[in-house]
Amino acid sequence: MVKIHQQSIGQGPTIVLVHGWAMHSGIWQAFAEQLAKRYQVICLDLPGHGQSDALNDFNLPDISAALVAAVPEGQFCWLGWSLGATVVLDIAQRYPDKVSSLVLLAGNPMFTQSQHWSGMRVDLLEDFATQLNVDCQATLLRFLSLQVNQLPDFKALIKKLKTAVLEFPAPAEHTLQGGLEILKTADLRTALAKTKVPVSVILGTRDTLVPVGVGQQMQALAPNIELNIIDKAGHVPFLSHAQEIIDIISQFTPVRLDKSRIKQSFAKAANTYDGVAELQRQVGRELLSFVDIKQCQGVLLDLGCGTGFLTSELVASTNYRELIAVDIAYAMLKTTQAKLLKASTLKFVCADAEFLPFTSGSVDHLFSNLALQWCHNLSAVFFDIKRVLKPEGQLVFSTFGPKTLQELKTAWATVDHYNHVNDFYSQADIQQFLENAGFKDIKIVSHSYVSTYPSVRCLMQELKGLGAQQVSGRNKSLTTKTAMKKMYTAYEALRLNAQIPATFEVISVIASA
């Protein structure tokens, strides 16, 4: 296997950056450093580019295999620019278990123009191929000029591109010709239409290589892709509009919760959870009233069972053949088991909702009460739940919505710009995720519950008692007493009838597999 050069910086969810034709990973340097403030960024050199070994034949199957072999185990967001966008689409098609999402930056599934597809003229690519044989360096400089043409800061951008390109010798001619051949002939439109992972497309209005109009054609192929158009951006928007792209990525690939800390938090809360979980019990009762519970038979699964409230209700109310209680925290699971020692055909499984250890088509009804909001990739979770459910099986769950703890968010906003309260998916997001996963007969309702507390401290103690204090994107430094006091003061201004209010938006869902 060829050696692929890579550089990894930052911490957080992983984003793999794949550069374009004739370039190398050094082109990302400033952009990657900014992105690394929130993510772990892995920059790869394509085979034969920069410091990576060359392939004898520069073709998509071998390129994809080499890059996938170079990265760690796991599913990641792959961001491809220009030719790199073609490569990451191919990776998603060949190695779906390595891809959690895609960002196509100034790229599309078919680079060249055809009768029904916007793209670069084939004769221009053929001209590049011819000129490479005559004067490689002049051809590369001409290509660079095309990438920043028509932009007001043309001179500064071309200087950045030249500096990056000249850092290492140009790729061998057969590698450059191979890259042009891929751009000329690759057609991954079917791969885009069939992909099951979230896709974000970022195009510039002044891109002379990838016409902005191709975005609508891509949406016609794959209606669920996210299309972002950056005004006055050309073919290298990560140099000219870096912050706009980072903002788009931050919305598309939010910083994840620390799953290990979530597990620890809920384990610690096992002894205190029941004393402060009245809302969870109320929501659980209403969730079960949402379905014809007597018709819930066969194999039932309670995902994120906590200390067993919903599991107990299912034991008492359904005609199950087998009931499986699942939780990520072993201490929570042991608490549930202790409560239900006399229940028959009951199994206990310690597992993460994002990695369900069950065979396909093995569950009739899957329930989950206020647990799925802690998942990193809810879209992928629904695909896996769909896999586990039998045909026509039923998914019944509740989760927190974006209005949850809005008062606490408002109070913290007076202190600093960091996240102190988690953001949750909206009703529209959940509907889309379920549809993407193939669920049908989807019914969603949203309801806001307002709990009251004698003080802000009582609210914070309850959240801790529930194990729900882990927050994504938060300031890694300790919160000072001064900051806490300022937040408390701001929250006090919201006091009503001598009580502190706290809103919890709950989204309840029923869907059929």
Catalytic annotation, residues: 82, 207, 235
- Biggest CA–CA distance in the chain, Å, is 83
Residue 280's DSSP bridge partners are none
Instruction: Please tell me the distance from the alpha carbon of residue 216 to that of residue 5, in angstroms, as a whole number.
Output: 35
| Strand pairing category for 76-81 and 14-18 | parallel
Find tokens 């772990």 and name the residue.
40
| Strand pairing category for 389-400 and 500-512 | antiparallel
| Strand pairing category for 99-105 and 199-204 | parallel
| Encoded tokens for 270 | 């096992």
What's the half-sphere exposure (Cβ side, CA atoms, 13 Å) at 326?
22
Q: Which residues contact 217 (CB under 8 A, 6 or more apart)?
A: 117, 118
Q: For the residues of 305-327, what is the DSSP string, one character each?
A: -TTSHHHHHHHHH-EEEEEEEEE
Instruction: Please tell me the distance from the alpha carbon of residue 322 to that of residue 50, in angstroms, as a whole number.
Output: 57
Instruction: Please tell me the distance from the alpha carbon of residue 380 to that of residue 388, in angstroms, as a whole number.
Output: 13
Q: Which residues contact 305 (CB under 8 A, 6 or more apart)?
A: 311, 325, 326, 327, 332, 333, 336
Q: For the residues of 185-230, what is the DSSP string, one character each?
A: H---HHHHHH--S-EEEEEETT-SSS-TTHHHHHHHH-TTSEEEEE
Cα–Cα distances in angstroms (integers) from residue 344 to residues 317, 320, 341, in the given order: 14, 10, 8
Residue 204's DSSP bridge partners are 230
| Encoded tokens for 360 | 């396909």
- DSSP conformational letter for 57: S
| Encoded tokens for 111 | 């680079």
Cα–Cα distances in angstroms (integers) from residue 452 to residues 403, 412, 413, 458, 501, in the given order: 16, 18, 21, 10, 5
Tell me if 19 sits within 8 A of 239, measured CB to CB.
no
Dihedrals phi, psi of 339, to nearest 5 degrees: -75, -25
CA nearest neighbour of 21 among 87, 104, 119: 87
Tell me if 506 sits within 8 A of 446, measured CB to CB.
yes
Cα distance from N-terminal residue to C-terminal residue, the chain: 41
